[in-house]
């Protein structure tokens, strides 16, 4: 007999209550500065982004002057044609930023020499994990495979704390890579936190006119993540649609057993209180 969403949510909630205190964290990451190592430039131009998300990042050349009060930074940027963020391009500026601050990095499919080069400045790596080759080829246009993602992930894990990120509906709103990705993560060395994201159809991209994945399908994936990883922190991250979609999804995410939500909808805040969860608010990136 096929399990309904309500049944899966109930199981996930029971697992969450058994494994964690009755607490939830709401992250409002206004104090984490978002830095681009490449300005607005990207050599990859992925189907879901097309460099749109670089528009509001602070160029690395301006970062030190603009982030004086920030206790943490996200170091990101556009990728080259092999899916690598040029992490070693501005190490002097990064070293200056790292003094007195925590750094979270988006690095892409970098090589081990690059991992070693940035090691003195890394507190956390946020790694976008993809679970099937078709999604990699369509979304990123890369001649890469899941094995490349696994190899990079393993190399990063040997050196750093790595927080895998899984975007639900990454392939133009269609599901496909998410469950394989979860199973692969289960077979790899343990992590302490997992972040779920959701595709936002974005103007100027290949997927601009697509629809995000169905809310119930996203909630089901999150619940499955909770059931597969009963003792890991799970977050609903910053990239997900706004408006009514967010209001409905965020409440379901609470029921699916997440430990934290970035910029939660009022519906999630209210439901968490009704379910007896004590809320803590933080003002930095959810991976810290």
Contacts of 215 (CB under 8 A, 6+ apart): 245, 248, 249, 252
- Residue 194 is predicted with a pLDDT of 98
Closest CA to 26 of 271, 274, 268, 276: 268
Element (H, E) at 72: strand 72-76
- Residue 45 is predicted with a pLDDT of 87
Q: Facing residues of 24 across strands?
A: 279
Distance in angstroms (rounded) separating the CA atoms of residues 209 and 61: 34
Hey, where are the domains in the chain?
Answer: 5-282
pLDDT by 10s per residue, the chain, length 288? 689 999 999 999 999 999 999 999 999 999 999 999 999 999 888 999 989 999 999 999 999 999 988 999 999 999 999 999 999 999 999 999 999 999 999 999 999 999 999 999 999 999 999 999 999 999 999 999 999 999 999 999 999 999 999 999 999 999 999 999 999 999 999 999 999 999 999 999 999 999 999 999 999 999 999 999 999 999 999 999 999 999 999 999 999 999 999 999 999 999 999 999 999 999 999 999
**In this predicted model, what pLDDT tens digit does every residue of 109-142 receive, in sequence order?**
999 999 999 999 999 999 999 999 999 999 999 9
- Residue 220 is predicted with a pLDDT of 98
Sign, CA torsion 19/231/16/240: positive
**In this predicted model, what pLDDT tens digit does every residue of 39-90 receive, in sequence order?**
999 988 899 998 999 999 999 999 999 998 899 999 999 999 999 999 999 9
| Token couple for 19 | 């494994």
- The four Cα atoms 168, 174, 179, 185 give a dihedral, to 10 degrees, of -50
Which class is 5-282 in CATH? alpha beta
Distance in angstroms (rounded) separating the CA atoms of residues 56 and 65: 16
């Amino acid at each position: 007999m096929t399990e309904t969403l309500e049944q899966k949510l109930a199981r996930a909630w029971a697992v969450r209550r058994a494994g964690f205190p009755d607490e939830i964290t709401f992250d409002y990451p206004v104090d984490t500065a978002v830095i681009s190592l490449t300005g607005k430039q990207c050599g990859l131009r992925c189907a879901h982004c097309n460099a749109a998300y670089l528009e509001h990042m602070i160029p690395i050349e301006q970062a030190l002057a603009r982030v004086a009060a920030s206790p943490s930074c996200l170091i990101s940027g556009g990728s080259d044609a092999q899916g690598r963020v040029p992490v070693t391009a501005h190490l002097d500026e990064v070293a200056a930023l790292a003094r007195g601050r925590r750094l979270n990095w988006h690095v892409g499919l970098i090589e081990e020499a690059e991992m070693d080069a940035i090691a003195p400045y890394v507190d956390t790596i946020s790694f976008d994990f993809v679970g099937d080759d078709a999604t990699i080829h369509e979304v990123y246009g890369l001649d890469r495979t899941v094995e490349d993602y696994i190899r990079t992930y393993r190399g990063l894990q040997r050196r750093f704390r790595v927080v895998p990120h899984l975007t639900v509906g990454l392939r133009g709103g269609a599901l496909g890579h998410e469950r394989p990705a979860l199973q692969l993560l289960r077979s790899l060395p343990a992590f302490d936190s997992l972040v779920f994201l959701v595709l936002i159809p974005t103007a100027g991209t290949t997927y601009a006119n697509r629809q995000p994945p169905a809310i119930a399908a996203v909630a089901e994936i999150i619940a499955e993540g909770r059931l597969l990883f009963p003792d890991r922190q799970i977050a609903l991250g910053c990239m997900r649609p706004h408006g009514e979609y967010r209001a409905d999804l965020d409440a379901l995410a609470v029921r699916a057993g997440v430990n934290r939500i970035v910029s939660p909808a009022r519906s999630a805040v209210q439901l968490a209180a009704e379910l007896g969860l004590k809320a803590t608010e933080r003002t930095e990136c959810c991976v810290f």
